[in-house]
Structure 1
Amino acid sequence: MTKQSLRIAVAQTTATADVRSNGETVRRLMREAGAEQARLVQFPEGFLSGYAKEQIQDWGHVDWPAVRGELEQIIALAAELRIWVVLGSAHPLTPPHRPHNSLYVISDQGTIVDRYDKRFCSHTEITTFYSPGFEPVVFDVDGYRFGCAICVEINFPDLFTQYGELGVDCLLLSAYPVDEVFEAKARAYASINTYWTGMALPSQTSHLMNSGVIGPDGRYVAQLDGGEGLVYADLERSAYSVWFDKARPWRRTALLGDIYRSRRVDDPRSEDRTCF
């Protein structure tokens, strides 16, 4: 059943190499989000395990049993609180394969219903740290459709277009940004593709931008003002009826091209592009 509105929470957290500390932070913020009636809470890229190149320099230093143990506690708490969780973490594969850079999608029933594995990794990530994924991930919460993306994928417009074609209402973009232009790209994609964008970032990058939720018009619905914590946004399609009911379907029709081909004119003044 589609609810009129759906509240989401987006986290800004200090990433560490201490898996147990990261797990405790996730659970504390889950409880805060649950108390504020959020249906979903989103965390930054690589947060639970620590992110390669920053907190992690060698996968051999990661306490993988501890990562699993913290994840199991998070899953159990999601069921207790009846809240969805989108959690950034490395996902270990069978040795000698490198981990995926992933977002676990944990349902309010306490199950991992899907996992998004970063498809477009940076040069350092793909040559030293991670194995790539290959599939988009979409899931529905109370009639609202979500998609997932991670960090450097911001540089690949087709990925964001694909999620628009898959009918997402909100794209969850978890990242560890390195420049200010990242924010401009996220706002542009939200507006071009007509969906909300939840942007979960570590507090270490708050000098560049802060975690927040961008509306389908490219403007922030809500944004943290530095530090750590959660920011909340109520997704409500009726508040953006022009974008969802008019702009989105018109753009899809326009891309098909028939409305233009049917109006093509046979005129020498159209054909000759060298004169007035």
Structure 2
Amino acid sequence: MTEQSLRLAVAQTTATADVRSNGRTVRRLMREAAAEQARLVQFPEGFLSGYAKEQIQDWGDVDWPAVRDELEQIVALAAELRLWVVLGSAHPLTPPHWPHNSLYVISDQGAIVDRYDKRFCSNTEITRFYSPGFEPVVFEVDGYRFGCAICVEINFPDLFTQYGELDVDCLLLSAYPVDEVFEAKARAYASINTYWVGMALPSQTAHFMNSGVIAPDGRYIAQADGGEALVYADLDRPAYTVWFDLARPWRRSALRGDIYRTRRVTDPRSEDRTCL
């Protein structure tokens, strides 16, 4: 376990269909995050390319060479700033296959070290826009383990349980939410699975909720207040010793069931569930 804290920056940005404008926004906020000593900055779903159904109605309208060029500039700047970046974008595949809805994991050495491809796409996404992914993604920064998830996957508890079983300290959830219940689910998963949740959202959905960081107790420790913003949270495992060192192991033990099976009693008053 690391004794060092890690500063996470989470962006709330205005998504557009202009790839060049989106790329400039990413780099500007990367510089701001680095100036505030952040080690990792997270962006919303589909931000670089534009998100299908919202900014993008047809993949033929996307300037894919521009997406690649902007991504290369972002990767180079990550190395210059010594900053990790988790960036939402469509990832093009070989035609005629539809793109993935992805989160690029960019290291502070200036390399794409992994890419999370959305596994549970919405009905519209899977029938009109995206090819699904199939694997979880876990990576480590300064001793902290991070996982990745995207938007509608909030409705699939097993995915969030899986990341808990993979011992992530923080789940980076980038999204384009369509209702305020999304926030309640994210807070519940943080508490149930005992990890931080970084939630990066576009400013267009601020009327539902704002970007922020939820602690392992289900409470916000940082949240934007409308509009465009970067919010910061220091992830500090020792400050949550009870959750990581006691609550998480106990819940795993409880799920295995041994602590209950070994205490099972044989008693007619237990077996008869109609007795007084």
Report the counterpart of residue 169 of structure 1 in structure 2.
Answer: 169
3-state SS, counterpart of residue 85 of structure 2 = strand
- Equivalent in the alignment of 1:156: 156
Please say if residues 116 and 133 of structure 1, whose CA atoms lie closer than 8 Å, have aligned partners that are also in contact: yes
Partner Cα separation in structure 2 for residue 251 and residue 160 of structure 1:
15
Deviations 1:131-153 (A, max 9, x none): 00000000000000000000000
Q: Which runs of 5+ in 2 are unaligned?
A: none
Residue 211 of structure 2 is matched in structure 1 by: 211
SS of the equivalent of 1:148 reads strand
Superposition pairs of residues 1-276 of structure 1, within 5 angstroms: 2-276=2-276
Which stretches in structure 1 are left out of the alignment for 5+ residues? none
Assess if the C-alpha contact under 8 Å between 2:171 and 2:198 holds in 1.
Answer: yes
**Number of residues paired by the alignment?**
276
3-state SS, counterpart of residue 48 of structure 1: coil
Give the ranges of 4+ consecutive aligned residues of structure 1 lying more than 3 Å apart after TM superposition: none
The answer to whether the 8 Å contact 1:3/1:142 transfers is no
One-letter code of the match for 1:54? Answer: E
Q: State the alpha-carbon separation in 2 of the partners of residues 42 and 257 from structure 1.
A: 37
**Distance apart, 1:2 and its partner CA:** 3.4
Rounded Cα–Cα distance in structure 1 between residues aligned with 2:107 and 2:163? 20
Question: Aligned letter for 1:247?
Answer: A
Q: For 1:39-67, what per-residue CA distance to the aligned partner results, in whole angstroms no more than 9, with x for missing partners?
A: 00000000000000000000000000000
TM-score under structure 2 normalisation? Answer: 0.99
1:192-248 per-residue CA deviation (whole Å, 9 max, x = no partner) reads 000000000000000000000000000001000001020000000111111011101
Cα shift readout 1:54-105 (whole Å, capped 9, x = no counterpart) = 0000000000000000000000000000000000000000000000000000
Per-residue CA distance 1:82-131 (angstroms, 9 max, x = gap): 00000000000000000000000000000000000000000000000000
Q: Distance in 2 between matches of 1:149 and 1:22?
A: 21
For 1:237 and 1:75, the matched residues in 2 are separated by: 29
Helix, strand or coil at the partner of 1:87: strand
* SS at structure 2 position matched to 1:204: helix
RMSD after superposition: 0.7
Percentage identity across aligned positions?
Answer: 89
- The residue type paired with residue 156 of structure 2 is F
Match of 1:72, SS?
helix
- For the residues of structure 1 that align with 2:13 and 2:76, how far apart are their CA atoms? 21
Q: What is the CA-CA distance between 1:3 and the residue it aligns to? A: 5.0
Give the conservation status (yes or no) of the 8 Å contact 1:169–1:196.
yes
Answer whether contact 1:15 1:22 (CA < 8 A) is retained: yes
- Cα separation, 2, equivalents of 1:97 and 1:225: 39
Q: 1:188 is matched by which residue type in structure 2?
A: A
Residue 32 of structure 1: how far off its partner (Å): 0.1
Q: CA deviation at 1:275?
A: 1.8
After TM superposition, give the deviation of residue 4 of structure 1 in Å.
1.4
